[in-house]
Structure 1
Amino acid sequence: MRMSPDDPGQPMDPDRVDLWDARLYSEGHPHALWRLLRAKAPVHRQELQDGRRFWSVVRYADVCRVLRDHEFFTSERGTLLTALGADDPAGGKMMAATDPPRHTALRESLGRVLSARAVEARREVLLQPVDRLLTPLLTGEISDLAVAAMNFPMDFIGTLMGLPQEDWPRLAKLTTMAIAPHDASFQEGSAPLTLLTVHHELFEYFSRQLSARGGTPTDDLIGHLMSMRIDGSPPDHETIVYNCYSLILGANVTTPHTITGLVQALMDHPAAFRTAAADPSLVPGCVEEGLRWSSPASHFMRYTTRDVEIGGHTLREGSALVAWLGSANRDEDVFADPYLFDIERRPNRHVAFGFGPHYCVGGALARISLRMLFERIFARVERFEPAGEVRHLASNFVAGVKSMPVRAVPRIGSW
């Protein structure tokens, strides 16, 4: 996705905006459209050719309200546009598709093992994937950073979930297929067939993983899910499988596309690269700005549980409503100079990990892994140089890059 609001070269009409079309995010100018909508139609209604319809909110305050208020806006009927119009069978079982209080019970248990303290305790182990990603880039040869980054979070989550390493490449591809079923590079048949393939294969895979454990919890995230108690009872087989799917999907959504987005921004702003390299204390702020800038998860969907007024519009009970995080993170009322990449931005209250009760449970893992990676990058890389065409992912959910050829120039004396 292009990160600037550059003029697309033709007039834009809010009534003709198509936020569903995956090609908008790979070939178009979504930030220009979101800026137009924030100014002219901050609560926007769209109807698809097949009769399905959804509302959108694009301003920061409205996005936060929708994601925070589970009593008016439920997650249990589906959370992504790809599920529009069909009730989610994982509703009430998968954490991402469950409202409090049941959601709270699921989240608190997983939150303990994915907390910043728990992740920091495994820093030495987690540095291994960092070096496995970075070392091949330091040869001076051209590398496709997007391809390397796509496998990076799988290295983390595969280890934490106790999954066989030989399965990681296919699992990484399946999660990309799940979030970009309209992208020809990841399709296996039509977009609906691709989603069907992904869900069948991943659910079957995790079902086999559970069966192989023979009902005995193991010392990994899957074992933790098996040993949880919800209202005093253990989760059933289906609940564990759905949450395994959720964990692996969540891990592979944000991190790789933040890496490519942040490296692209640093190539476009070489002074920021030099500033962060000279002062390691700036790395956390650099990562936060990278998260705001790239906003990898573009949206989350909710359904209204009753008639509700928002932005001067009345949405009827059962209406689908999409909160656009990528737009909220450029809201001029919240972020000064929102189209300025500023690694020292303060405050930086971005919503790249969502907001409210569904704030990403793996946010600490993503943050710490990104910080470790960019600490290594600033210590060992003099600069990145573009080395080919950047190709963007066709997805209305993830603002991502599927190909980014670069050359990393090693810093002299860094080894």
Structure 2
Amino acid sequence: MRLTRPAQTPALDPAETDLADPRLYATGDPHAIWLTMREHAPVLRQTLADGRSFWSVVRYHDVNDVLRDHTRFTSERGTLLSTLAVDDPAGGKMMAASDPPRHTALREPLSRAMSMRAMRRWEPRIRQMVLRLLAPLAEGTPWDLAEAAASFPMAFTGTLMGLPEPDWPRLTRLTSMAVAPTDSEFQEGRGTLVAAHHELFEYFADHLRATAGTADDSLVGFLRGMEIEGRRLRQDEIVYNCYSLLLGANVTTPHAIAGTVLAFIEEPGQYARLTADPALLTRAVEEGLRWSSPANHFMRYTRRETELSGVRIPAGEAVVAWLGSANRDRRVFAEPFAFDVGRSPNRHVAFGFGPHYCVGAPLARVALRILFEEIVANVGQFEQAGPVEHLASNFVAGIKHLPVTARLLDGAAERLGAAHAAGGPLPEAVL
């Protein structure tokens, strides 16, 4: 999705825009549409050509209400537009598609296993992976940062989940197929979305069978040993939650990386400010998350008639909360269309809000902090080396191609080259 900076409310008619169309996020300008909606139509019903409909919510506080209040908005009928008007078979089984108390019973053990404290033991491994990721910059030729970043999360998520390394490239592609099934780069015949889901579910079912009865300190083993309501999780519940954890990791971190680096290219003064004061790094990472907002929307259904921004929504209606819009709301963010590495406060909703706040956020933050620490330590300036290509997806605000070159700092080429040449096993980390 293009990260545009509309200076004023454009003369647009949101009712004539299809916010469900993945092409809008590949070649259009949703930020201009959301800006108009925030000012003039903050809660708007859209009916698709096939008769299905949903309500769009674009203001920060309304988005938070939708994501926070499970007594009014349920997750169990589906949480993404790809399941609009079709009850999600994962409802009540997958953490992301369940409401309290079931959601709480699933989430609390996982939150402890993936806390910031637990994730810190991964830092040596992640730093080594970061250096390998950045190593091609030492060659001085154009390098597709977005394409390379797509494989980055799998290196620690795959290990965390105990998945064999030869499987990682295919799993990475399958998650891209699942979130961008109409993008020509990820289509594989007809029914890409169904095919991706089927293959991922089969993969995890096979993995569970293959590892049954073995000592397993991975996240999959943790799920296998979890108990809710006085019983162990069933296989279908484990499979659904493995799918959700993998998808969440693979489709968020890479696009936060690409979106932040693109912002540094477009705003070199902000990157210079960060390199002059590395103490701003944590704030810069949070601003990159706000700016890129990789998870573009979440969907809920109304349990009863309710009201948002003065608009009445009947019971049983699909409501789509647009996170990318909430993170540009002037009511919360001063100069929301400015990329500011020192922004504070920065109460963005890039990881969601409320009970469904991303359980993998601590791992993502650790990985992003280490990545940008190494970028600041090694890169004097990035330059764009080709056109940016955006993902055709209404769920993930993604960049699939970002060719760059870099002016490296003294000694960086040798350091990155040595990391690339070293190869070998990465430092171990377990739950």
The question of a shared fold, defined as TM-score above 0.5 by the shorter chain, is answered with yes
Aligned to 1:51: 51
The CA deviation string for residues 107-141 of structure 1, in whole angstroms up to 9 with x for no partner, is: 11111111100001221122222122111222211
Aligned amino acid, residue 280 of structure 1: P
Partner SS, residue 168 of structure 1 = helix
Q: What's the offset of the Cα at 1:272? A: 1.4
| Whole-angstrom distance in 1 between the partners of 2:100 and 2:93 | 12
Q: What's the offset of the Cα at 1:279? A: 2.1
| Whole-angstrom distance in 2 between the partners of 1:154 and 1:171 | 8
The CA deviation string for residues 183-234 of structure 1, in whole angstroms up to 9 with x for no partner, is: 11111134xx111111110000000110011244511100000011112210
| Whole-angstrom distance in 1 between the partners of 2:79 and 2:10 | 32
User: 1:363-382, aligned counterparts within 5 Å?
Assistant: 363-382=361-380
Aligned to 1:158: 158
Q: 1:168 to 1:29 in 2, by over 3 A?
A: same
**Percent of counterpart pairs with the same letter?**
60
| Whole-angstrom distance in 2 between the partners of 1:321 and 1:53 | 9
| Whole-angstrom distance in 2 between the partners of 1:231 and 1:319 | 30
Q: What's the offset of the Cα at 1:310? A: 1.8
Aligned amino acid, residue 335 of structure 1: F
Aligned to 1:345: 343
The CA deviation string for residues 223-251 of structure 1, in whole angstroms up to 9 with x for no partner, is: 00001111221000000000000010000
Aligned to 1:279: 277
Aligned to 1:135: 135
Aligned to 2:204: 206
| Whole-angstrom distance in 2 between the partners of 1:408 and 1:164 | 33
2:80–2:395 Cα contact (<8 Å) kept: yes
Q: What's the offset of the Cα at 1:316? A: 1.5
| Whole-angstrom distance in 2 between the partners of 1:67 and 1:217 | 37
Aligned to 1:399: 397
The CA deviation string for residues 374-412 of structure 1, in whole angstroms up to 9 with x for no partner, is: 000000111111000111101111110111111122111
Aligned to 1:121: 121
2:258–2:399 Cα contact (<8 Å) kept: yes
| Whole-angstrom distance in 1 between the partners of 2:189 and 2:328 | 35
The CA deviation string for residues 130-189 of structure 1, in whole angstroms up to 9 with x for no partner, is: 122111222211111111010011111001011111111110011011111111111113
User: 1:349-364, aligned counterparts within 5 Å?
Assistant: 349-364=347-362
Aligned to 1:236: 234
Aligned amino acid, residue 174 of structure 2: L
Aligned amino acid, residue 31 of structure 1: H
The CA deviation string for residues 303-329 of structure 1, in whole angstroms up to 9 with x for no partner, is: 011111222222111100000000000
| Whole-angstrom distance in 1 between the partners of 2:321 and 2:118 | 31
| Whole-angstrom distance in 2 between the partners of 1:128 and 1:156 | 11
Aligned to 2:265: 267
The CA deviation string for residues 66-91 of structure 1, in whole angstroms up to 9 with x for no partner, is: 00001110001100001101000000
1:112 and 2:91 correspond: no
| Whole-angstrom distance in 2 between the partners of 1:289 and 1:411 | 24
Q: 1:231 to 1:281 in 2, by over 3 A?
A: same
| Whole-angstrom distance in 2 between the partners of 1:329 and 1:289 | 10
| Whole-angstrom distance in 2 between the partners of 1:116 and 1:196 | 34
Aligned to 1:308: 306
Q: Between 7-16 and 306-315, report the one with greater CA deviation.
A: 7-16
Q: Which runs of no fewer than 5 residues in structure 1 stay unpaired?
A: none
Aligned to 1:31: 31
Partner SS, residue 338 of structure 1 = coil
Partner SS, residue 260 of structure 1 = helix
| Whole-angstrom distance in 2 between the partners of 1:132 and 1:72 | 47
Q: What's the offset of the Cα at 1:99? A: 0.5
Under a length normalisation based on structure 2, what TM-score does the superposition of the two structures give? 0.94
> 4+ residue stretches of structure 1 with deviation over 3 A?
5-11
| Whole-angstrom distance in 2 between the partners of 1:65 and 1:43 | 13
2:6–2:337 Cα contact (<8 Å) kept: no
Q: What's the offset of the Cα at 1:6? A: 3.7
1:217–1:224 Cα contact (<8 Å) kept: no
Q: Between 98-107 and 208-217, report the one with greater CA deviation.
A: 208-217
| Whole-angstrom distance in 2 between the partners of 1:8 and 1:337 | 12
| Whole-angstrom distance in 1 between the partners of 2:159 and 2:357 | 23
Q: 1:215 to 1:54 in 2, by over 3 A?
A: farther
Q: What's the offset of the Cα at 1:413? A: 2.4
Q: What's the offset of the Cα at 1:8? A: 12
1:5–1:29 Cα contact (<8 Å) kept: no
Aligned to 1:219: 217
1:6–1:29 Cα contact (<8 Å) kept: no
1:175 and 2:188 correspond: no
Partner SS, residue 271 of structure 1 = helix
User: 1:287-302, aligned counterparts within 5 Å?
Assistant: 287-302=285-300
Q: Which runs of no fewer than 5 residues in structure 2 stay unpaired?
A: 416-431
Q: What's the offset of the Cα at 1:7? A: 8.0
The CA deviation string for residues 30-77 of structure 1, in whole angstroms up to 9 with x for no partner, is: 000000000110001000011000001000000000000011100011
Matched positions, count: 413
Q: 1:334 to 1:10 in 2, by over 3 A?
A: closer
CA RMSD of aligned residues (A): 1.4
Partner SS, residue 286 of structure 2 = helix
Aligned to 1:388: 386
Q: What's the offset of the Cα at 1:5? A: 3.8
Aligned to 1:72: 72
Q: 1:10 to 1:39 in 2, by over 3 A?
A: closer
Aligned amino acid, residue 185 of structure 2: S
Q: What's the offset of the Cα at 1:4? A: 1.4
Aligned amino acid, residue 396 of structure 2: V
| Whole-angstrom distance in 2 between the partners of 1:138 and 1:98 | 46
Aligned amino acid, residue 147 of structure 1: E
